[in-house]
Structure 1
Amino acid sequence: MAINYCVECGHPMETRVMDGVERRACSSEACNYVHWGSYSIGVGALVMRDDRVLLVRRAQEPGKGNWTNPGGYIEQLEPIEETVVREVREETGVDARVISIVALRDLPRAAVHNVYIAYEMEYVGGEPIPDGVEVDAAGFFTLEELKSMQVATFTQWLLDVAVRNPEGAGLRKDENPAANGYFRT
C-alpha cells in the first residue's frame, strides 16, 4: 500500500531515492517525514513447568485451531521484555519472567517486515485459563502429549531448537531453517 499523504503534516508524499532505496517522503520543505517501511515485532514465550510447556489453542485466524506458544505484538512505547510478560498473562493468566532469548525469526515481506523474538521464561504462578478471545484453550503439556495435538509448525520448530535439542548459549544462524526460523540457540 502506497503512503500518499504525510502522517505528520498532511502534505502529499513523493518518491525519493535515499541510500539507494526508493522511499516515500513528505513533499513539504517544512517537514522532514520519511516513511522508512512497515514493520511488526512479535514475541513468543516458552514457559516450562515440571517438564511441561505452556501452549494455547488459537481461536482466531491465522492458525485457528492450532496449538502455539503464547505471544503477540509489541505496543509502540512498550519494552519488548514487558510485552512477552503481558502477552503470557493476557492469553493464559499465567505469570512468568524472562530468562533469555532462545530464537529469532526474520521474515521480510512486501507488505510488512516481521521480526519474531522467542523467549525462554520461568514459570512464576497461576493456572492456565484462556482469554476466550484470542485463545480458546490453554494448558501445560508434556512433549509426549504434543505428538497427538495440532501444533503449529513454527511452535514445533521452536520446541525442537529450544527444548528438545538445546545446543548452548547464544543465537546462531540456522543453516536448515524450518517455518522461516532463521536463528536459534
Structure 2
Amino acid sequence: MTVNFCSSCGQPMETRMIDGVERRACTSCDAVHWGNYSVGVGALVIRDDKVLLVRRAQEPGKGNWTNPGGYIEQMEPIEETVVREVLEETGVHTRVKGIVALRDLPRAVHNVYIAFEMEYVDGEPAADGVEVDAAGFFTLEEMKSMKVASFTQWLVDVAVNGKNEGLLPDREPVVPLNGYGIFRV
C-alpha cells in the first residue's frame, strides 16, 4: 500500500531516495514514512511442569493453540503489555522474568515478536471469549494431541529446554535511562 498523504500535515507525499532507499516523503513538511511495523509479545508461563496455552477464537490462527500474547500499545511499556495480554486472555496474573526468544518476520507490515518467560503469580485460566475460546495449563504429553501452532511449539521448546535465563530487565542501569525498557544478559 502506498502512502499518498502525510500523516503529520495531510499534504501529498512523493517518492525520494533517502539513505539509499526509495521512501515516501511529504512535499510540504518533509516528514518521512519509514515503513509499517508491528511489535508483538508472547508469554511463556509454566506452572507445575505445564505450559499456559490459549486456543485462538479469531484469525490469524483460529482454532490453533498458542501461548498468550498480543501487540503493544503506542505508549505502553513492553513489560506491561505482556502482563496485560496474559491477564486479558486468561485471567492469570504473571510477572516478567526475562526475554527468552525473538522472531523477526519481514513482510508488508514488518513484525517483530518478543517472547517473555513469565512467573506465574495466581489465577486459574479462563478464556476471554473474544480473542480466545479456551485456556489452560498443559503438559508436553497433552500438547501432542492438540493443534498447537508451529511457532508456539518452537516457543514451548525454548521455555522448557532453554539453556539460560535470557535477557533480564536492567532495574539499576549504570546511567539513568528514564522511560526506557532495557534488558541485558
The interval holding the TM-score normalised by the smaller chain is: 0.7 to 0.9
- Deviation per residue, 1:90-115 (Å, 9 max, x gap): 00000000001010000111x11000
In structure 2, give the amino acid aligned to 1:166. G
Normalising by the residue count of structure 1, what TM-score does the alignment of the two structures yield? 0.88
Partner of 2:143: 146
Distance 1:122 1:156 in 2: 20
Name stretches of at least 5 consecutive residues in structure 2 with no aligned partner.
Answer: 168-185
Distance 1:8 1:169 in 2: 42
Distance 1:120 1:169, change over 3 A: closer
In structure 2, give the amino acid aligned to 1:12. P
Partner of 1:166: 162
In structure 1, give the amino acid aligned to 2:145. S
In structure 1, give the amino acid aligned to 2:98. S
Partner of 1:113: 110
Distance 1:169 1:138 in 2: 26
- Deviation per residue, 1:130-175 (Å, 9 max, x gap): 0000000000111111111110000001111221x2222447xxxx
Name stretches of at least 5 consecutive residues in structure 1 with no aligned partner.
Answer: 172-185
Partner of 2:94: 96
Partner of 2:35: 37
Distance 1:140 1:169, change over 3 A: closer
Partner of 2:46: 48
Partner of 1:20: 20
Would the aligned equivalents of 2:98 and 2:166 in 1 still touch at CA under 8 Å? no
- Deviation per residue, 1:18-53 (Å, 9 max, x gap): 11011101001xx13110000000000001111111
Partner of 2:10: 10
- Deviation per residue, 1:115-135 (Å, 9 max, x gap): 000000000011101000000
- Deviation per residue, 1:33-88 (Å, 9 max, x gap): 11000000000000111111100000011111110000000000001111000000
Normalising by the residue count of structure 2, what TM-score does the alignment of the two structures yield? 0.88
Would the aligned equivalents of 1:103 and 1:162 in 2 still touch at CA under 8 Å? no
In structure 2, give the amino acid aligned to 1:168. N
- Counting aligned pairs with the same residue, the percent is 80
In structure 1, give the amino acid aligned to 2:130. V
- 1:160 partner SS: helix
Partner of 1:126: 123
Count of paired positions: 167
